Amino acid sequence: MGITLQTTRKVDAQGDGQLLLELDNIHTYYGKIHALKGISLKVNKGEIVTLIGSNGAGKSTTLRTISGLLRPREGEVRLDGKNMANVPPHSIVEAGIGHVPEGRGVFPGLTVLENLEMGAYLLRNHSELERRLENVFSLFPRLLERMQQKGGTLSGGEQQMLAIGRGLMQQPSVLLLDEPSMGLAPLLVEEIFNIIDRLNKEQGTTILLVEQNAQAALQVAHRAYVLEVGQISMSGLAADLLHDPRVSEAYLGL
C-alpha cells in the first residue's frame, strides 16, 4: 500500500549530518535468548531513520535497549557521544531520548490532558508546558476534542496519536517510534505517516522509526536499516532500499 505524503521528501536529505545517536555492537539478551547480536547503527540530527524487519527480528528490543528498559550485555549506546548503556530509563529520558513504545502505553485511567502532562513530567515551567500542549493539539486536533476523556476510552488511532503527542511533550532530541501504524485503518496509517513527516520537516524532530509497514516507512525516511533475527542485514538510503529487489521481495510483498 502506497502512502501519499503531503510534502515531498528529497531522497538525499540526511539532516545536517551531525551524529546524534549511535549504537555500537549492541548485544541484548532476554535471559538466555540472544535477541540482539551486535547491532550498530547511527542516527544523525534532523534525520528520520527507519528500522524495518519482520516480526520477532528485534526491532522493539533495539528501541528498549536505547531507552534503557533493557540493558545490553555488550556494546554501547551513545547519545551525543556519551555512553548511555547503563543509565536508568528515567535519566535517559532526561538526556533527551523519547520512546513511544509498542502498544502505545497510554495511561488508561488518566485523561488525555493528564497523559500529555505526564509526557512533560520533567518540565517544571508552566508556560513552556502550555506551549508544548498547544503544539501537540495543533498537530492532533482530535486530542483537543477528547481532552477530558480517559486514555483507556480512546480508539486505537487516537491512542496512537496520544502516545506520539505525549512523546512530543518531552521535546526529545530523538524520538523513538515503535510501530506507530500497528493495528490502524489505512486512512489513519496515512495520517500518522504524514504527521511523522511534518514533525521532521516543520519541527526538525529527529526520529528513529520502527515499522513492519516497510513501504510507508521507507517512503518517509531518509535512511534505513533492515534487521533480521537480531542482526543488521542491509542499510542505506531509504530510497535505494525501496527499490532494492531483496527488500521488495522480503518486506514489501511485491
Partner 1 sequence: MTNPIDAGGAAAVSTMPASAPLRVRRTNPIKEILRPLGQLLIFVLGSSIVMALITVALALILRPTRDDMDMLQITLILLPQVLIDGLVLGFMYATIALGYTMVYGVLEFINFAHGEIFMFGAFAGVELLLWIERTNGLDVGNLAAYGLIIVAIIVGMVISGLLAITTERLAYRPLRGAPRLIPLISAIGVSFFLQDMMRFMQSAINGDFYRTFPDFGPFGKRITLFSMPLDDRTIDIAIQVKSLIIIIVAIIMLVGLNYLVNATRLGKAIRSVAQDQRTSSLMGINVNRIIALTFLIGGALGGAAGVLFAFKFTRADPYMGFLPGLKAFTAAVLGGIGNITGAMLGGIVLGLLESFAAAYLSIFTNGAMGAEYKDILAFAILILILVFRPSGLLGSKTTQKA
Ligand X SMILES: Nc1ncnc2c1ncn2[C@@H]1O[C@H](COP(=O)(O)OP(=O)(O)O)[C@@H](O)[C@H]1O
Q: Which is nearer to ligand X, 59 or 146 (CB)?
A: 59
**Whole-number Å distance between alpha carbons of 78 and 245:** 33
Q: Which of ligand X, partner 1, Mg ion, none lies near 113, with the C-beta cut-off 5 to 8 A by kind?
A: partner 1
Per-position x/- string for 156-185, each x denoting binding to partner 1 as judged by CB under 8 A, each - no binding: ----------x---x---------------
Interaction of residue 254 with ligand X, rule CB under 6 A: no
Which residues lie closer than 8 Å to 189 by C-beta, 6 or more apart? 1, 3, 181, 213, 216
Interaction of residue 183 with ligand X, rule CB under 6 A: no
**Whole-number Å distance between alpha carbons of 215 and 241:** 10
Q: Which strand (E) or helix (H) includes residue 34? A: strand 33-44
Which residue's C-alpha cell is 547511527?
A: 42
In the complex, the residues that contact Mg ion under the rule CB under 5 A are 60, 102
Joined together, the cell numbers standing for residue 217 give 516507512
Per DSSP, what are the bridge partners of residue 231? 228
Q: Which residues bind partner 1 (CB under 8 A)?
A: 67-69, 88-90, 93-94, 98-99, 101, 103-111, 113-114, 117-119, 121-122, 126, 129-130, 133-134, 137, 141, 144-145, 147-148, 151-152, 166, 170
Q: Which residues bind ligand X (CB under 6 A)?
A: 30, 33, 35, 53, 55-61
